[in-house]
């Protein structure tokens, strides 16, 4: 099924208001083999989650069990993302904990937690479709090597998030394949602005973050400049991860979301601070990028 047809199906068949509803079964991808990966039973990571949020996550996972086994990871991610439409935008949902633990929210999301939630739901639905499976998948995405070891173990910079999750087989960075060019990625924003991060008042945390920043800055990355996005967007599929790069000194990315085709044009499914909720962008992606001077282009990763 072509991506435009699948996008039309998503937009027509999913009816969600204010985050309510369940994901309908996405069309089977006959090119994708059924996943045999499983998440083995393991102790749940220490976490914070309300009973209401847990119930919503379990309901989403239950509904997805009717989907064909051949549904590709990207189409699962897109469908779960659509199931989160209109969820309120709430910034800084991972901060303010007395100690680092896995924060699980479904009542409010920012751009990163929205993307992580959709991807973790997809991973759990294929491997271990219960709440503990979701916790394991979310921790695996959010923390370096999937291990919660204090504030610096969280993947704060999104290029670090991309690198770590690609290394562990959760996704593939396809930016260079699409025609991207080298991205001069030098990060130090957190260590240069420690007053903006409560946990960095601890000098041990600050030193570990500085070590991470040096490692990120030593790696090679690619990006697609925003004036090239329209010409290269045909290679992007529904459910691909879109990382928007920035020219803010010391930062690598300013926003993230999911790719979704609407008719002949590529749009962004994302948690928007401007609209105050998860939305499908009214403008095509390349037009959205053109409206922000600090946004320089995109990186693209494909869920596996």
**Buried/exposed code over 245-259 (b: 16+ C-beta within 10 A; e: otherwise):** bbeeebbbbbbbbbb
Q: What is the DSSP letter of 154?
A: B
At 102-137, the pLDDT tens digits run: 999 999 999 999 999 999 999 999 999 999 999 999
**DSSP secondary structure letters along 22-36:** -PPPPPP-TTSPPP-
Going from N- to C-terminal start, the domains of the chain cover 3-303
pLDDT at 6: 41
Contact 76, 53 (CB under 8 A): no
Residue 112 tokens, joined: 């990163």
Q: Average of pLDDT values for 147-156?
A: 97
At 5-62, the pLDDT tens digits run: 444 444 443 333 333 345 655 654 433 333 444 555 566 788 999 999 999 999 999 9
pLDDT at 23: 62
At 234-262, the pLDDT tens digits run: 999 999 999 999 999 999 999 999 999 99
Q: Exposure of 184 by Cβ count < 10 A (0-12 exposed, 13-18 middle, 19+ buried)?
A: exposed
Residue 51 tokens, joined: 């009973």
In angstroms, the CA 159 to CA 156 distance is: 9
Tell me which residue has tokens 């670090």. 160
Q: What is the domain class of 3-303 according to CATH?
A: mainly alpha
Q: Exposure of 296 by Cβ count < 10 A (0-12 exposed, 13-18 middle, 19+ buried)?
A: buried
pLDDT at 26: 64
99 CB contacts (<8 Å, ≥6 apart)? Answer: none
39 CB contacts (<8 Å, ≥6 apart)? Answer: 123, 124, 127, 128, 133, 136, 137
- Res. 64: pLDDT tops 90: yes
Mean pLDDT value across the chain: 89
Residue 69 tokens, joined: 């086994």
The separation between CA 212 and the C-alpha centre of its own chain, rounded to angstroms, equals: 20
- Res. 70: pLDDT tops 90: no
CA angle 300, 205, 147 (to 5 degrees): 55
């Amino acid at each position: 099924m072509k991506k435009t047809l699948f996008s039309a199906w998503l937009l027509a068949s999913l009816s969600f208001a204010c985050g309510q509803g369940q994901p309908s079964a996405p069309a089977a991808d006959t090119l994708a083999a059924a996943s045999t990966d499983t998440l083995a039973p393991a102790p749940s990571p220490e976490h914070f989650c309300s009973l209401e949020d847990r119930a919503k996550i379990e309901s989403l996972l239950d509904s997805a069990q009717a989907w064909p086994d051949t549904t590709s990871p990207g189409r699962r991610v897109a469908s779960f993302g659509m199931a989160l439409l209109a969820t309120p935008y709430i910034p800084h949902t991972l901060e303010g904990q007395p100690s680092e633990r896995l924060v699980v929210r479904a009542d409010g999301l920012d751009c990163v937690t929205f993307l992580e939630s959709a991807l973790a739901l997809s991973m759990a639905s294929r491997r271990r479709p219960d709440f503990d499976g979701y916790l394991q998948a979310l921790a695996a995405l959010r923390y370096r090597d999937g291990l919660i070891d204090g504030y610096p173990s969280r993947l704060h910079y999104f290029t670090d998030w991309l690198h770590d999750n690609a290394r562990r087989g959760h996704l593939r960075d396809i930016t260079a394949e699409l025609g991207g060019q080298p991205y001069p990625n030098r990060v130090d924003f957190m260590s240069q602005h420690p007053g903006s991060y409560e946990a960095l008042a601890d000098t041990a945390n600050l030193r570990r973050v500085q070590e991470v920043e040096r490692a990120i800055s030593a790696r090679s990355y690619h990006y697609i400049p925003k004036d090239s996005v329209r010409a290269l967007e045909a290679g992007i599929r529904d459910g691909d991860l879109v990382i928007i790069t920035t020219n803010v000194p010391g930062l690598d990315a300013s926003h993230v979301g999911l790719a979704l085709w609407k008719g002949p044009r590529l749009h962004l499914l994302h948690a928007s601070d401007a609209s105050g909720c998860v939305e499908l962008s009214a403008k095509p992606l390349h037009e959205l990028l053109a409206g922000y001077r600090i946004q320089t282009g995109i990186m693209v990763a494909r869920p596996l």
